[in-house]
Amino acid sequence: MLETYVTPILMSYVNRYIKNLKPSDLQLSLWGGDVVLSKLELKLEVLEQELKLPFTFLSGHIHELRIHVPWTKLGSEPVVITINTMECILKLKDGTQDDQETCGSSSTNRSTTESAKPSIKSRRVQQAAPTDTDFPPGYVQSLIRRVVNNVNIVVNNLILKYVEDDIVLSVNITCAECYTADEFWDRAFMDISATDLVLRKVINFSDCTMCLDKRNASGKIEFYQDPLLYKCSFRTRLHFTYDNLNSKMPSIIKIHTLVESLKLSITDQQLPMFIRIMQLTIALYYGEIGNFREGETEELLSHSKDGLGSIPGTEDEMGKQVQYKPEDVYLHQEDDDQQGWVSWAWSFVPAIVSYGDENGGEVYAEKEAGTTPHFQKSQALKDPIVSIGFYCTKTTITFKLTEMQAESSYYSPQKVKSKEIIRWEQEGTTIEVLMMGEPFFDCQVGFVGCQAICLKGIMGVKDFEENMNRSDTEVCFFICGENLNSKGMTYLTNSLFDYRSPENNGINAEFILDASHHKETYTEIAGMQRFGAFYMDYLYTMESISGKGSINQQESKSEESANIQEMSTKRLVLGPVDLRLDSSAIHRIMKMIVCALDHEYEPYSALKPAFEEENKSLPTSEEVAALEEFIPTRLTCITILKCTIVVTMAEFNLLNQLLPIIMGEKSSSGFLNAVSFQPLRPLPAIKILVDKINFENSVPMYAEQLVETVSSLSQPSDNLLHHCYAHCYLKVFGFQAGLTCIDSKGSCCLSVPVIPSFSTAVYCKLLRLPMRCESMLSFNMTGEALLKKNTLDSQKQQQPMKYLIKFTEL
């Protein structure tokens, strides 16, 4: 019967994540077609091991779980899994807690795995001899693949909370639904075939609300802030392309998300907490926290995956037949490859079942590359091409100031009242990431147009209240780019939401994975033609010297560094910019800086201790030769086009209240409370015009290792010494300035030239880690070290402050 084949798959997945389930009761309910489970506890240790994030789960609950299996129409209707109210709370692990909990969970999981082997194996042996022989193996294989590829998942009321220090970040999604779609992205019952090796998924998120609040020492939130994001809906399209029916995982994965309207609200109390969350994300990306020990395995995860393995007459994810061998079940759990902390991303892959074979279970969720650059992963399978995109039609970010307001009654609780002071509006936003293993990672960000607007009053000065009747020109102090109506939908080019994209026309997409070809194609001009306001391209590549592309992760570090060339390039282009710096804009910007600095959070990454010089070994001649040939660098290029800056005379001055706080001092006096404000017109101003500004910054990618190596050489070459500096180039074209004034309508009058148009260039270089250079040379004043010290001293005499600046007129 079909129940004999499908039931173990569903039972194994439910039993993997949920505690205290009786398999016999679950099996009987599944055979009836519907399962309803209430008040479930999640296996937190399994979630932590699978997610592989530096977080620990404090709690995990599911109020109700429903599973509907249409046994009579299993080949034409999907299995529906519905979760009603799921809540998870997690926090960041510290180093000591990580070590203790990981060791404890590893031993617990190991014992759990060993104890579970006999019972599970006996059950699998019983399932090995199905009584019904009417279904040929090929039919069962095709049917199970169709069932797995068309599972519908619905989550109602998903609650996720993250706590750290005094931060409480909560995300509430009213409804999230994942289903299979056809070529028009409509709900359908689909499957891959030899003629169409494509599978499409759609995930709809309804009413997503994100809150960021501050708790006290007892863990209680005294005053609830305005939500960061309130009832935002968005949709995600997933497109998987396979090489053939026997492929274990897709060769091309595209995950694109579209948001029509994104309205963010940040208060002065939320701003430092929001920056803290952003710093956490960056620290996770660069691996500054959450590094895992080498050789750490995921036995429980492996056990769970193999538990779905050798189902009689079934196949692997994409159709490869697997013969059932009872003696091989659960004997190869420890052979699975180590997974990274971002393996959760592969949960989107429709091949959710990984079947074992005689060579042992294989991990179906390979780590996606480019997220943690220095993490080791298995290269047994070819890395897929992964494209992740985020697109937003209109984005609004409003910054508010809060103040406490008491009720009329003395005993009534205080309430928080917020007041808008500045708003950022942005249209046509695109964030695209393309990666293929560790050798290639590219991120492109752009938007069509943006503007910044002053709202209401600031620190008692009612400069933009409704009764002031200020013009739209005065309200908007920053404008960049074009309007979305005139530019069109170019920000969606080649996305899954673009009807002209190859995937939406039955054509295989082509990707540029070569660094030189990428730079020739995605130029600054091409980026500005697509967006118009801002374009950023971050490219990181790892290429072997031989040019064959494959990088052997099993090589030693010395061999790897000698055979691999790393390159990192960031290019940023800002379109036509119109900036007005008046008292209203400056005070609002300064107030945001003051609020961002109002915190006592410790940095995630502590300063690294100084090198231990006792065991220091000199580099070999081969290592020096390889270093002479190529030194990894990070290049940053920033270009600003057609910049207009208007600096007006001050209409009011509150900087004496803001600057001390920015400089780290405490302000003793209260803020000024201006009762009235009257704009001064005409208002004198200075108008600056610049045709183009180019800035380039080049720094060594591994400055500490480079400085250590160069400092140990007796006579380093000029090339090595050159790369021990950070080099900055600034070029300004068509700079001119004049005097003007602002009229009653907020427009600039005809300016009187003061500085005629000219162009110039500035070059400066800064010695990287100068104190490190001196400390490395002081430990042993041998003849060679003394020679090196004299070399550095001679450079210091030429550059007393360890930097050099040169001006050149173009």
127, 129, 132, 134: CA torsion to nearest 10: 120
**How many other CB atoms sit within 10 Å of the CB of residue 163?**
16
List, in sequence order, every beta strand (DSSP E) within 363-520.
385-405, 415-436, 440-447, 449-454, 456-458, 461-464, 476-481
SS3 content of the chain, % helix, strand, coil (to 5): 30, 35, 35
Distance CA 309, CA 295 (A): 24
Question: What's the confidence (pLDDT) of residue 652?
Answer: 81
Alpha helices in 683-769 (DSSP H): 703-711, 718-723
**pLDDT grade for 540, boundaries at 50, 70 and 90:** very high
Pairing of strands 564-574, 633-648: parallel
pLDDT in tens, 141-194: 788 888 888 999 999 999 999 999 899 999 999 999 999 999 999 999 998 888
Least confident of 33-47, 324-338, 697-711, 789-803: 324-338
Distance between first and last Cα of the chain: 83
Write out the two tokens for 542. 């790892």
195 within 8 A of 242, measured Cβ to Cβ: no
The backbone torsions φ and ψ at residue 609, rounded to the nearest 5 degrees and listed phi first, read -65, 160
Q: Nearest CA to 792 among 778, 779, 806, 780?
A: 778
Q: Which residues, listed in sequence order, are joined to residue 102 by a DSSP beta bridge?
A: none
Instruction: Compute the distance between CA of residue 414 and CA of residue 223 in angstroms, rounded to an integer.
Output: 8
Domain ranges of the chain: 2-383
* CA angle centred on 208, ends 206 and 209, rounded to 5°: 150
At 772, is the pLDDT very low, low, confident or very high (cuts 50, 70, 90)? low
Backbone φ and ψ for 109, nearest 5 degrees, come out as -65, -35
Percentage of the chain beyond pLDDT 90 is: 40
How far apart CA 147 and CA 764 sit, in angstroms, is 63
Contact yes or no for 804/767 (Cβ under 8 A)? no
754 backbone dihedrals φ, ψ, rounded to 5° = -115, -45
pLDDT-derived band at 104 (thresholds 50, 70, 90) equals: very low
CB 303 within 8 A of CB 333: yes
Lowest mean pLDDT among 227-236, 353-362, 470-479, 652-661: 353-362
Given a cut of 50, is residue 294 above it in pLDDT?
A: no
Please indicate whether residue 706 or residue 372 has the higher confidence score (pLDDT).
Answer: 706
pLDDT of residue 292: 40
Question: Would you give the distance in Å from CA 599 to the centre of its chain?
Answer: 24
**Helix or strand (DSSP H, E) at 661:** helix 655-662
- Give the Cα separation of 665 and 669 in Å (integer): 12
Check residue 192 and give its pLDDT. Answer: 87
- 350 vs 454: which has the higher pLDDT: 454
- Measured between alpha carbons, how far is 202 from 348 in angstroms, rounded to an integer? 10
| Bigger pLDDT: 669 vs 126 | 669
**241 vs 1, higher pLDDT:** 241
Query: Locate tokens 């990981």: which residue?
Result: 102
pLDDT-derived band of residue 519, with 50, 70 and 90 as boundaries? Answer: very high
Q: Assess whether the previous peptide bond of 8 is cis (omega < 30° from 0).
A: no
Q: What percent of the chain has pLDDT over 70?
A: 70
How many Å apart are CA 302 and CA 359, to the nearest integer? 14
Q: Is the pLDDT of residue 467 over 60?
A: yes
The pLDDT of residue 358 is 34
Mean per-residue pLDDT over the chain, rounded: 76
pLDDT for residue 318 is more than 50: no
Q: What is the pLDDT of residue 606?
A: 63
Q: What is the pLDDT of residues 348-387, one digit of tens each?
A: 333 333 333 333 333 333 333 344 444 344 444 678 999 9
Ramachandran angles phi, psi of 505, nearest 5°? -125, 20
